[in-house]
Amino acid sequence: MLRSHTCGQLRSDQIGQTVTLGGWVDKYRDHGGVVFIDLRDRYGITQVAFRMEESSDTQQLAASLRHEDVVQVTGEVVSRGPENKNPKLPTGEIEVRASQLKVLNKSKTPPFEPRGETVPNEELRLQYRYIDLRRPALQEKMVLRHRLTKIVRDYFDALGFLDVETPILGRSTPEGARDYLVPSRVHEGAFYALPQSPQLFKQILMVAGYDRYMQIARCFRDEDLRADRQPEFTQIDLEMAFVEQDDVLGVIDGLIAKLVKELQGKDISLPLPRYTHAEVMEDYGTDKPDLRFEMKIKDITDLVKESSFGVFKSTADAGGRIRGLCVKGAADKYSRRILDNDFKGIVGEYGAKGLAYFKVADGKLESSIAKFFDEEQQKAIVQRMEGEDGDLLLYVADRDKVSSPALAALRNFLGKDLELYDPREIKTAWVLEFPLVTWNEEDNRWDAEHHPFCAVHPDDVDYFETDPSKIRALSYDLVCNGYEAASGSIRIHDPATQQKVFDLLKITAEEAESRFGFLLQALRYGAPPHGGIALGLDRWVMLFAGSDNIRDVIAFPKTQKASDLMNGAPSDVDPKQLRDLHIKLDIPQ
RNA sequence: GGGGCCGUAGCUCAAUCGGUUAGAGUGUCGGACUGUCGAUCCGAAGGUUGCGGGUUCAAGUCCCGUCGGCCUCGCCA
């Protein structure tokens, strides 16, 4: 070993010992006759003092050290004494009086310093990710990720789950997200696809009798990125046989409680709250509500459809609704300009044509459009909104398809802007009973809401013939702080029901056979009832890290255009590689 | 594919209404200094204002295009 201790280890207990440290030069302070070096590794910082009277050569060499040089230092651990101790450092009671210094590797002047008080722009951080990863803030997140992963593995291991790896080179299935394709050299013109998730394999593992499976699985989706979405990401994937929905939910409840306990030291009460999809869509306008604050959406259509305000009236007549939010105490918080520009802009992104707003005063409404509502209507609106004097009321009048996401976005903005919650709080709940299918207006057909293997709520089987939109799936999402943090379902385990769903989705027998024939085949050989779920690992780490950016918790993330600024991926390849694969490029000018 | 924000010294930022030689802090380089810990002091170097075009007597600033980064709609079974 080139070191006897780490840079975070030494305390007063070691005074008098001769130690050897290795690390990076974090800061240097040259006083002429004495040089101080803050030596850093991922365990901490230790001050090393190089004094002329002890070794002139060593002290002179130390004077040449610069940021991020890698050095090996040997010396005696000494007390700094009461005047010179540094209470900011855990190692601040002591320093290493260096007798030997070896420069293991000089560093070029780094583009930025890990200890710098300002964080450089992300482009530079991604280009020099090896320096960025030296920053304590990022190292803490990597450690958190490790700990979380370890807790997850231990939890499932204790419950008898078996970690089974599934292939990375898989088969392309046209449904779902766009696939990342990998050309086969051996099979001319044929391609593998990287897995969007191990979905079909884990179901087949159930058929194979591995009744409790889990895997920390890398998944790939060639879709556009977001702050919480990367093209490759990690799922905590699991599947169980001989279970019902409650069993899966219970296992995950226990996991979340354990994570919160071990990572935050807090107890949460179980079971986690459960809402139906219909409930959260009505109350929050989204299937992934942020439940850290209230502010539910309220419907006032019945109160205003007879008013003289044309926009509300015509919306109601056209089958739309007038729904809105009551923002407590915010009547004077936002200027008219902000309401007309910024707020309208937020709902406008979702297609809302306008935003109506009122202040509540004396139990009535105040605004430029208040005159269109008589006193009785005004009082009824205030009552419906549970409004009090000083509250701000905001309304979007439109079809739910527009107003729901618009109001949900506005609500999220307000929650953050008005600091209605503690950003470190983890607030988790289940959303159950998703619709099995949704109508695709463009293609004029039913699409699976989750995926085509979701089991059907037993009470809703008759709706296949009458109204498929009313069929509830035995599927469940776990939402956390406004993110979809897990998603799963009980699966169909008999070929007849599976066929029924394929029929509804207009997937022909031939299509089904060619796309997922291997699964259908497997289901005919003794498939037990089964179900499972997958948790977004990166998102959970992000949530526990209190970050709103998934790149912060991935060691080597990709940019919004899915490139790696450090290594330049994706890149051109040698023409020979393409010839081997029989691939010709055809790039539009 | 659409919308928005951003790009000035190695880094973080400034530069008035379009107006003289584009500044500051920090880092870098040289020097001084034996107890600092954001060390201090003296001195120096460092710029194709992302790139290309246009408007103008004059462009970091305005316009168009383009490249890159971020946020977002669509997309993400």
Give the CA A342 to C1' B61 distance in Å. Answer: 26
**Phi/psi-derived region of residue A490, left when phi > 0, alpha when psi is between -120 and 50, beta in every other case:** beta
Geometric angle at alpha carbon A530, from A511 and A492, rounded to 5°: 35
Residues whose CB falls within 8 Å of the CB of residue A574, separated by 6 or more in sequence, listed in order: none
Residue nearest to nucleotide B73 (CA to C1'): A349
Give the CA A104 to C1' B16 distance in Å. Answer: 52
pLDDT of residue A176: 87
Give the CA A2 to C1' B25 distance in Å. Answer: 38
Nucleotide nearest to A26 (CA to C1'): B37
Measured from the Cβ of residue A204, the count of other Cβ atoms closer than 10 Å reads 19
Task: Look up the CATH number of domain A138-275+427-576.
Answer: 3.30.930.10
Residue nearest to nucleotide B6 (CA to C1'): A121
Domain with CATH 3.30.1360.30 in chain A: 293-417
Residue nearest to nucleotide B37 (CA to C1'): A86
The pLDDT tens digits for A317-329 are 999 999 999 999 9
Give the CA A564 to C1' B44 distance in Å. Answer: 38
Structure tokens at A587: 């790039």
Residue nearest to nucleotide B2 (CA to C1'): A349
Nucleotide nearest to A484 (CA to C1'): B76
Residues whose CB falls within 8 Å of the CB of residue A22, separated by 6 or more in sequence, listed in order: A2, A3, A41, A70, A71, A72, A73, A104
Quick one: DSSP state of residue A185? S
Among residues A106, A95, A81, A92, which one has the least CA distance to residue A21? A95
pLDDT of residue A570: 96
Give the CA A228 to C1' B59 distance in Å. Answer: 39
The pLDDT tens digits for A189-225 are 999 999 999 999 999 999 999 999 999 999 999 999 9
Geometric angle at alpha carbon A243, from A239 and A244, rounded to 5°: 110
Residue nearest to nucleotide B40 (CA to C1'): A31
Give the CA A19 to C1' B47 distance in Å. Answer: 47
Nucleotide nearest to A229 (CA to C1'): B76
Structure tokens at A289: 């509500």
pLDDT of residue A587: 84
Nucleotide nearest to A405 (CA to C1'): B73
Rg (CA), chain A: 30
Nucleotide nearest to A31 (CA to C1'): B33
Give the CA A278 to C1' B65 distance in Å. Answer: 48
Give the CA A567 to C1' B67 distance in Å. Answer: 18
Contact A346/A410 with Cβ under 8 angstroms? yes
Q: Which nucleotides of B are covered by protein (CB under 7 A)?
A: 1-2, 10-13, 26-29, 32-40, 68-77
pLDDT of residue A589: 64
pLDDT of residue A495: 86
The pLDDT tens digits for A105-152 are 999 999 999 998 889 999 999 999 999 999 999 999 999 999 999 999
Domain with CATH 2.40.50.140 in chain A: 12-105
Mention the CATH class of domain A293-417. Answer: alpha beta
Contact A80/A95 with Cβ under 8 angstroms? yes
- CA gap A19, A41 in Å, rounded: 15
What rounded mean pLDDT belongs to chain A? 95
Contact A252/A533 with Cβ under 8 angstroms? yes
A557-562, long-range: CB within 8 Å, 24+ apart, which pairs? A557/A126, A557/A230, A558/A225, A558/A230, A558/A231, A558/A232, A559/A123, A559/A126, A559/A225, A560/A224, A560/A225, A561/A225, A562/A222, A562/A225, A562/A231
How would residue A477 be classed by pLDDT, with cut points 50, 70 and 90?
very high
Give the CA A161 to C1' B16 distance in Å. Answer: 68
Nucleotide nearest to A222 (CA to C1'): B76
Helices (H), A322-435: 336-338, 344-348, 375-384, 400-417
Q: What CA dihedral angle connects A77, A80, A81 and A84, to 10 degrees?
A: 180
Whether omega before A529 lies within 30 degrees of 0, making that bond cis, reads no
Structure tokens at A454: 């979701």
The pLDDT tens digits for A45-87 are 999 999 998 888 999 999 999 999 999 999 999 999 999 999 9
Which position has the token pair 């889990």? A214
Residues whose CB falls within 8 Å of the CB of residue A305, separated by 6 or more in sequence, listed in order: A312, A313, A316, A317, A322
pLDDT of residue A521: 92
Measured from the Cβ of residue A344, the count of other Cβ atoms closer than 10 Å reads 17
CATH among 3.40.190.10, 2.40.50.140, 3.40.630.10, 3.20.19.10 for A12-105: 2.40.50.140
Give the CA A346 to C1' B59 distance in Å. Answer: 34
- CA gap A392, A331 in Å, rounded: 4
- CA gap A547, A528 in Å, rounded: 40
Residue nearest to nucleotide B41 (CA to C1'): A31
The pLDDT tens digits for A369-416 are 999 999 999 999 999 999 999 999 999 999 999 999 999 999 999 999
Contact A397/A354 with Cβ under 8 angstroms? yes
Residue nearest to nucleotide B12 (CA to C1'): A118
Domain with CATH 3.30.930.10 in chain A: 138-275+427-576
Which residue type is seen at A47? Q
Nucleotide nearest to A85 (CA to C1'): B37
Q: Is the pLDDT of residue A446 over 80?
A: yes
Q: What is the mean pLDDT of residues A152-159?
A: 98
Residue nearest to nucleotide B10 (CA to C1'): A111
Give the CA A162 to C1' B22 distance in Å. Answer: 64
Helix (H) / strand (E) containing A548: none
Give the CA A550 to C1' B37 distance in Å. Answer: 34
